[in-house]
Amino acid sequence: MQQINLQPIQKQQLGDGQTLEINSIFWTLQGEGPYNGHPAIFIRLAGCNLQCPSCDTEYQLKAVLSLTEIYAIISRETPDTLLRPPIIVITGGEPFRQNIAPLVDNLLQLGYKVQIETNGTLYVPLEWSFAHKNLTIVCSPKTGKINKDLLPHIKALKYVVNANDINRYDGLPNHALGHPASPMVARPPANFRGEIFVQPVDVKDEVQNKRHLDAAVDSCLRFGYRFCLQVHKLIGVE
């Protein structure tokens, strides 16, 4: 049986952005979404404003770090043999729970490509960074609405599907990771031109996972979405 997520809900807390609550920072391969397969530094921020029952990510607070300390870890984690800067993936938890604007702005100015992974419910103004060619915001909706201020800046939507809860009219989940959504998980806007990914949920059960995988494949073949797997789990990296 899959363990139920008991990590507490934490409200948005916007400071000056010079320090951030961190769960972990690590070197890996991005296993999902538009940068799938790219070497990446993950900055996993602590805390989330939602509590999705089936979330299997550990995002509790481990340290409060200054931006200088974060940059030092990025430098230390990046191999000297790398031919180009790694992708920086800012994830959580929920990244927009904290003021990530100074971090994102600085990383883009340093020449990094930055991907933010969000549930789409919160918003932090990123000034000029939203229009930067090297910033990609990937939203995996968990509630019935996406923040109206964030929505225009989202470049990809990622839906986690469960074979038992797929809408037959559009192949997308009615709910995601067991989180309540009214009337269902937010749909792509009619004018959305970004990528739409569909990914099977992982319930730690081989038989059930095969059902979810088949349902995700069928959804992509029927509706033209882009199929997505958690490749990092298949190859055994964090």
Query: pLDDT of 123-151, one tens digit each?
Result: 999 988 888 999 999 999 999 999 999 99
SS3 95: helix
Q: Which residues, in sequence order, are CB contacts of 131 under 8 Å at separation 6+?
A: none
Mark out the alpha helices in 20-66 (DSSP H runs): none
Stated as kind and residue range, the H or E segment containing 197 is strand 195-200
Question: Is the pLDDT assigned to residue 237 strictly greater than 80?
Answer: no
pTM over 0.85: yes
- Per-residue confidence (pLDDT) for residue 234, from 0 to 100: 79
Widest distance between CA atoms in the chain: 50
Q: What are the tens digits of pLDDT across the range 62-90?
A: 999 999 999 999 999 999 999 888 999 99
Residue 144 DSSP one-character state:
S
Please give the structure tokens belonging to residue 162.
């469960």
Question: 19-235: what fold?
Answer: TIM Barrel (3.20.20)
Please give the structure tokens belonging to residue 171.
């192949």
